[in-house]
């Protein structure tokens, strides 16, 4: 819990620290909050969980009393000519009440299975939240990375344009050859192509951001550091085995399958129910014809009893259902182990990716510093004739490559770190402490519907909660200017 609190405080500090930024700037916490409130994948998962909640009242309904009524009005159009007392019309009404007393444990275990599946669904919802948040973080970091790469490539184009002009001027005075001019021109053309590719990548990243977050990215701020990362992969795995929502959901489904076996076994046992019925009949004054003194026109009857059903032979159906349920329970047990394997592999892989990305950042930073120093030295040596124009072009390309790799490594490290937290079960809405109103609590809906027994009860007509992006403008690769200090 201390780690979860640290993650919430980290995002809160990020929002507070950026209060002096331009009004249109976005930070990671705002992006996560927007996705939490408007992402259609998350909204659909919540609706599916509400559908799962209804499994509990459906299971309970089998153990509750049932009341049925029936009314009939009959007009006798043609009567038997020798039946002098036959009525002309009749009104009948029947009422039946049934109360199941014993069902072999079928109802009880069905309710337990439904409740367990609700718990599994709530863990699935946590997993969906974490998955959407991982997409948001990746999209957020992609926009930052690709914006930086566009800026680096644009700067490279500007530098190469100056180089080409300087080389052309030196060619005019005979200081360099036509080959030097051609090499500069070639590198400029390639740089412009790289810039165009980087711009296309930035547009794609921005559109992906809109898809996941639901709004246009605007001057995205650097993300805050991620707290609570494990010391080693073993610590990460230990935490994940107790908190990963996918694994917890698989465990609950395995328990639910065990209850299903008991439900199937109940088909072999007797059932007991109480029954009661009543009827009312009225011939509306038409019974008896012309018999003197008249005939009673109304009658009321009532019955009550106990119904016991004992299955003696059902063709092996109950045994087949039990074996089928046992096989499905076996499948869920194996699936639980499969999910556990997947979680362990995901956590260890995410840890390795995060560790490697951080090491790569340090290596690329060294490469950038060395390449910048090398370029400065090559340019100085060129002025005294010890280096050629091609040497300068190569040094500039090497610096650009190192800078791009550094930007990509920083993105990869952050995304890998968040994915590691997600795999461990530390990246749902409660962990992040998002703003934007109260968090969605699936338990609230379950508590609302679990005891409802009114047949005419229903919810309002569904309306979309997630926002559409059809009105957002098509994105371009324009880089906003840096804010003034």
| pLDDT tens-digit readout, 215-266 | 999 889 999 888 889 999 999 999 999 999 999 999 999 999 999 999 999 9
Residue that wins the pLDDT comparison between 346 and 19 = 346
This prediction has a pTM of: 0.86
Cα(389)–Cα(83) distance, integer angstroms: 124
pLDDT tier at 35, thresholds 50, 70, 90: very high
Cα(36)–Cα(102) distance, integer angstroms: 46
Cα(246)–Cα(249) distance, integer angstroms: 5
| pLDDT tens-digit readout, 131-155 | 999 999 999 999 999 999 999 999 8
Tokens 């073993």 — which residue?
234
Assigned CATH for 2-63+105-268+322-428: 1.20.1600.10
The residue among 481, 477, 464, 473 whose CA lies nearest residue 43 is 464
C-beta neighbour count of 310 within 10 angstroms:
8
Does 5 have pLDDT greater than 60? no
Could you write out the DSSP letters of every residue in 68-124? EEEEEEEE-SS--TT-TT--SEEEEEEEEEEEEEE-TTHHHHHHHHHHHHHHHHHHH
| pLDDT tens-digit readout, 377-418 | 988 887 777 777 788 888 888 888 899 999 999 999 999 999
The residue among 244, 483, 477, 219 whose CA lies nearest residue 348 is 244
Cα(298)–Cα(441) distance, integer angstroms: 57
Question: Would you state the CATH architecture of domain 65-102+270-310?
Answer: Single Sheet (2.20)
The residue among 16, 59, 94 whose CA lies nearest residue 282 is 94
Residue that wins the pLDDT comparison between 388 and 94 = 94
pLDDT tier at 18, thresholds 50, 70, 90: very low
Predicted local confidence at residue 78, as pLDDT: 83
Q: Can you state the angle between helices 245-265 and 317-383, rounded to 10 degrees?
A: 170
Cβ atoms of 134 and 422 within 8 Å: the answer is: yes
The rounded mean pLDDT for the chain is: 88
Residue that wins the pLDDT comparison between 402 and 175 = 402
Cα(43)–Cα(128) distance, integer angstroms: 10
Structure tokens at 385: 């004739």
Cα(367)–Cα(370) distance, integer angstroms: 5
Predicted local confidence at residue 290, as pLDDT: 58
Euclidean distance between the first and the last CA atom of the chain, given in angstroms as a whole number: 38
* Stretch 117-122: mean pLDDT: 97
Structure tokens at 18: 């950026």
| Of 95-104, 108-117, 180-189, the least confident | 180-189
Cβ atoms of 281 and 295 within 8 Å: the answer is: no
Cα(414)–Cα(227) distance, integer angstroms: 11
pLDDT above 70 as % of the chain: 91
Does 25 have pLDDT greater than 60? no
Does 24 have pLDDT greater than 60? no
Does 88 have pLDDT greater than 70? yes
Q: Which residues, at least 6 apart from 4, have a Cβ–Cβ distance to it below 8 Å? A: 228, 426, 430, 431
- Give the domain ranges of the chain: 2-63+105-268+322-428, 65-102+270-310
| pLDDT tens-digit readout, 50-78 | 999 999 999 999 999 999 999 999 998 88
Predicted local confidence at residue 309, as pLDDT: 92
Cβ atoms of 477 and 199 within 8 Å: the answer is: yes
Does 19 have pLDDT greater than 70? no
65-102+270-310: same fold as 2-63+105-268+322-428? no
Does 23 have pLDDT greater than 70? no
């Amino acid at each position: 819990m201390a780690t979860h609190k640290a993650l919430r405080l980290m995002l809160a500090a990020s929002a507070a620290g950026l209060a002096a930024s331009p009004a249109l700037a976005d930070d990671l916490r705002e992006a996560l909050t927007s996705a939490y409130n408007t992402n259609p994948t998350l909204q659909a998962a919540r609706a599916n969980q509400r559908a799962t909640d209804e499994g509990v009242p459906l299971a309970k309904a089998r153990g509750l009393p049932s009341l049925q009524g029936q009314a009939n009005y009959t007009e006798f159009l043609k009567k038997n000519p020798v039946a002098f007392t036959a009525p002309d019309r009749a009104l009948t009404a029947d009422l039946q009440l049934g109360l199941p007393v014993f069902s072999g444990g079928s109802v009880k275990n069905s309710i337990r299975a439904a409740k367990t599946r609700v718990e599994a669904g709530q863990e699935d919802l946590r997993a969906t939240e974490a998955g959407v948040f991982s997409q948001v973080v990746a999209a957020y970091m992609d926009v930052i990375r690709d914006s930086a790469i566009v800026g680096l490539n644009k700067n490279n184009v500007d530098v190469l344009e100056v180089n080409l002009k300087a080389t052309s001027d030196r060619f005019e005075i005979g200081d360099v050859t036509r080959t030097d001019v051609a090499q500069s021109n070639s590198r400029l053309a390639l740089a412009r192509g790289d810039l165009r590719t980087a711009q296309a990548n930035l547009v794609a990243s921005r559109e992906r951001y809109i898809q996941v977050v639901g709004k246009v990215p605007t001057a995205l701020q650097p993300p805050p550091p991620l707290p609570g990362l494990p010391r080693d992969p073993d610590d990460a795995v230990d935490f994940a085995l107790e908190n990963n929502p996918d694994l917890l959901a698989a465990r609950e489904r395995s328990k639910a399958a065990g209850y299903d076996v008991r439900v199937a076994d109940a088909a072999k046992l007797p059932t007991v129910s109480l029954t009661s019925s009543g009827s009312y009949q009225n011939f509306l004054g038409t019974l008896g014809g012309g018999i003197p003194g008249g005939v009673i026109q109304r009658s009321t009857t009532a019955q009550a009893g106990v119904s016991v059903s004992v299955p003696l032979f059902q063709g092996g159906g109950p045994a087949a259902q039990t074996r089928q349920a046992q096989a499905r329970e076996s499948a869920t047990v194996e699936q639980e182990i499969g999910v556990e394997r997947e979680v362990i592999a995901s956590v260890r892989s995410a840890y390795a990716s995060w560790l490697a990305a951080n090491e790569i950042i340090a290596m690329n930073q060294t490469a950038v510093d060395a390449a910048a120093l090398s370029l400065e030295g090559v340019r100085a040596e060129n002025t005294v004739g010890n280096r050629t124009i091609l040497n300068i072009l190569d040094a500039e390309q090497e610096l650009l490559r190192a800078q791009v790799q550094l930007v990509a490594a920083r993105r990869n490290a952050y995304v890998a770190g968040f994915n590691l937290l997600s795999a461990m079960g530390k990246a749902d809405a409660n962990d992040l402490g998002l703003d934007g109103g109260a968090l969605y609590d699936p338990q609230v809906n379950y508590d609302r519907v679990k005891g409802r027994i009114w047949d005419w009860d229903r919810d309002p007509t569904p309306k979309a909660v997630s926002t559409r992006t059809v009105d957002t403008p098509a994105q371009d690769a324009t880089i906003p200017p840096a804010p003034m200090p």
